């Protein structure tokens, strides 16, 4: 008995038909398909459809009684595997395979084989389209478009065509064809503007567990104040990560961990990393993975990581990783298994998935996670210096259509010693409200007034921040 878990049953049937028709006369085996709606029907030769043996018990008794070899594909038979009568009938057929080769093929999206039948069954995975096969599918869809639009010419950008072929990896034949058709039929062209929509559709097809979130907007590093050393580190590894410019001899970068003070731009840097590499950004939400049922959390994590692998090249952002992998009260057993699964994937992955993990509380991080080798580098994001604070205020003023030259950025930077990037942004936001209430244009005085009313986190939690800086010194690389 062969078990195949797939949603692409049409492709499975086509493969079995081609195998059957290529068989020689001496080893030829007829091919049958069974569904609960249509019963048992012959597929390898054209016959008038006949409704026979639609009931599961009837079809298994019929197959057991047949005295000639044959291939019997049972579609969506999984709900009936809990019946002891069906289990016994299947076992009878399998036991007598040596006498009469009646090959059973169970095809469904998910099949749990009873223990009694495990010894008689083998599981096969449906291979996903290779690069050559994806090219063939796209070319076939393009030819269909040309036939339906006589006189029109399909516009195809060679670079966009290659990107489309690469980004359709990891999908079934049916989904590959569907997304290729969407890309071509919308505007009669294959252009770079098609790629984001393809990636979004691909993500929605793959992310069934809900543990991953697709981040649509990735920041530019021009939107990030400071972090100059991190920017340089990422820029040097851009070509190696994307596999361009003769970088085959270089190891693919695995990822980084950003540890630092809250509000200093760790999350923004994670988003900007995807912008630097020019790839989609996926966010892994550990809180959405945890489930009260035994083994369900680990399964959802495996599915999420598998989706990330299929979405390559991409950046996988894990925000506040310590909250997902540190002990969760009575769930420490589950947490340890989740940590083990994640570390194994991190060590063994061969895909171009760049992991960016951010953390605020280093005391809650498992030692196994922060040891050398887990990530390419561990960066420490500290409070911004005066020059960086001026740059951050400049960025937030420009975002709100204000001309920074009208403001005394040097004075503002001098008055904000110990402020984080988030606190600086909030000071600008609050100043806008103050100016609006007074029916005045925004000025430096409004911003300075709000700054004077703010007690930064570096003062409120001075001891914890000092401890964090002490730990980071010598253990991490400063981002500036």
The HSE-up count of residue 351 (CA atoms within 13 Å, CB side) is 19
Task: Tell me the DSSP string of 212-257.
Answer: EEEE-----GGGS-S-HHHHHHHHHHHHHHHT-SS-TTSPPP-EEE
The residues facing 108 across adjacent strands are: 5
**What pLDDT band is residue 292 in, cutting at 50, 70 and 90?**
low
Report yes or no: 261 and 458 within 8 Å, Cβ to Cβ.
Answer: yes
- Other beta carbons within 10 Å of 412: 24
CA torsion through residues 102, 105, 106, 107, sign: negative
Task: Tell me the DSSP string of 10-22.
Answer: HHHHHHHHHHHHH
- Selection from 30-34, 297-301, 345-349 with the highest mean pLDDT: 30-34
Report yes or no: 325 and 369 within 8 Å, Cβ to Cβ.
Answer: yes
Per-residue pLDDT, 61:
94
- Comparing CA positions, the residue from 388, 276, 248, 327 lying closest to residue 256 is 276
Say how far apart CA 167 and CA 15 lie, in whole Å: 25
CA distances from 27 to 32, 68, 86 (A): 16, 12, 28
Digit-coded pLDDT (tens) for 151-165: 888 888 888 888 888
Report yes or no: 353 and 313 within 8 Å, Cβ to Cβ.
Answer: yes
Per-residue pLDDT, 364:
76
How open is the CA angle 479-262-304, to the nearest 5 degrees? Answer: 85
Digit-coded pLDDT (tens) for 85-137: 999 999 999 999 999 999 999 999 889 999 999 999 999 887 788 889 889 99
Of 218-232, 371-385, 447-461, least confident by mean pLDDT is: 218-232
- Judge residue 423's burial from the number of C-beta atoms within 10 Å of its C-beta, 0-12 exposed, 13-18 middle, 19 or more buried: buried
Q: Which residues of 256-285 are buried (b: 16+ CB within 10 A; e: fewer)?
A: bbbbbbbbbbbbbbbbbbbbbbebbbbbbe
Say how far apart CA 88 and CA 99 lie, in whole Å: 18
Q: What is the mean pLDDT of residues 193-213?
A: 77
Q: Percent of the chain, pLDDT > 90?
A: 29
Per-residue pLDDT, 295:
66
**What pLDDT band is residue 273 in, cutting at 50, 70 and 90?**
confident
Longest CA pairwise span in the chain (Å): 94
Tell me the pairing of strands 212-215 and 281-284. Answer: antiparallel
pLDDT at 329 over 50: no
Task: Tell me the DSSP string of 328-379.
Answer: -GGGHHHHHHHHHHHHHHHHH--S-EEEEEEES-GGGS-HHHHSTTSSSEEE
pLDDT at 214 over 90: no
The residues facing 40 across adjacent strands are: 34
- Comparing CA positions, the residue from 429, 388, 430, 435 lying closest to residue 409 is 388
Per-residue pLDDT, 361:
76
The HSE-up count of residue 82 (CA atoms within 13 Å, CB side) is 1
Per-residue pLDDT, 293:
61
Digit-coded pLDDT (tens) for 405-438: 999 999 999 999 989 888 999 999 999 999 999 9
CA torsion through residues 306, 310, 312, 314, sign: negative
Q: What is the mean pLDDT of residues 75-80?
A: 94
- Average pLDDT along the chain: 85
Tell me the pairing of strands 2-5 and 122-124. Answer: parallel
**What pLDDT band is residue 44 in, cutting at 50, 70 and 90?**
confident
């Amino acid at each position: 008995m062969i078990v195949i878990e797939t949603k692409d049953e049409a492709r499975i049937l086509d493969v079995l038909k081609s195998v059957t028709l290529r068989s020689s006369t001496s080893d030829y085996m007829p091919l049958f398909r069974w569904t609960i709606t249509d019963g048992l029907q012959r597929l390898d030769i054209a016959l008038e459809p006949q409704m026979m043996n639609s009931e599961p018990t009837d079809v298994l008794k019929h197959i057991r009684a047949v005295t000639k070899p044959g291939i019997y594909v049972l579609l969506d038979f999984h709900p009936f595997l809990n019946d002891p009568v069906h289990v016994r009938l299947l076992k009878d057929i399998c036991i007598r395979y040596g006498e009469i080769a009646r090959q059973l093929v169970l095809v469904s999206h998910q099949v749990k084989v009873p223990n009694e039948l495990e010894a008689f069954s083998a599981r096969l995975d449906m291979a996903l389209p290779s690069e050559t096969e994806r090219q063939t599918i796209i070319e076939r869809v393009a030819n269909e478009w040309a036939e339906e639009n006589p006189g029109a010419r399909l516009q195809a950008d060679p670079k966009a065509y290659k990107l489309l072929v690469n980004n359709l990896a990891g999908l079934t034949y049916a989904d590959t064809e569907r997304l290729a058709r969407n890309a071509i039929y919308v505007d009669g062209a294959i252009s770079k503007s098609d790629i984001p929509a393809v990636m979004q559709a691909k993500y929605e097809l793959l992310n069934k567990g809900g543990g991953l979130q697709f981040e649509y907007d990735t920041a530019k590093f021009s939107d990030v104040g400071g972090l100059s050393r991190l920017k340089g580190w990422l820029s040097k590894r851009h070509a190696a990560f994307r596999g361009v410019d003769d970088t085959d001899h270089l190891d693919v970068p695995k990822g980084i961990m950003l540890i630092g003070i809250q509000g200093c731009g760790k999350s923004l840097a994670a988003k900007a990393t995807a912008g630097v590499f020019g790839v989609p950004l996926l966010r892994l939400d550990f809180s959405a993975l945890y489930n009260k049922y035994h083994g369900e959390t680990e399964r959802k994590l495996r599915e999420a990581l598998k989706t990330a692998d299929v979405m390559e090249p991409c950046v996988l952002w894990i925000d506040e990783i310590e909250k997902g992998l540190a002990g969760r009260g009575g769930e420490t057993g589950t947490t340890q298994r989740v940590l083990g699964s994640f570390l194994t994937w991190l060590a063994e992955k061969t895909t171009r998935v760049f992991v960016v993990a951010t953390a605020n509380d280093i005391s809650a991080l498992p030692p196994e996670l922060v040891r050398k080798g887990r990530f390419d580098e561990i960066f420490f994001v500290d409070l911004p210096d005066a020059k960086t604070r001026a740059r951050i205020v400049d960025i937030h003023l420009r975002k709100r259509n204000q001309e920074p030259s009208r403001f005394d950025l040097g004075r503002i930077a001098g008055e904000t010693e110990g402020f984080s990037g988030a606190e600086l942004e909030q000071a600008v936001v609050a100043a806008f409200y103050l100016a609006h209430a007074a029916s005045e244009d925004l000025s430096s005085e409004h911003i300075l007034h709000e700054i004077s009313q703010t007690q930064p986190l570096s003062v409120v939690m001075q001891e914890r921040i000092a401890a964090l800086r002490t730990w980071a010194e010598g253990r991490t690389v400063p981002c500036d």
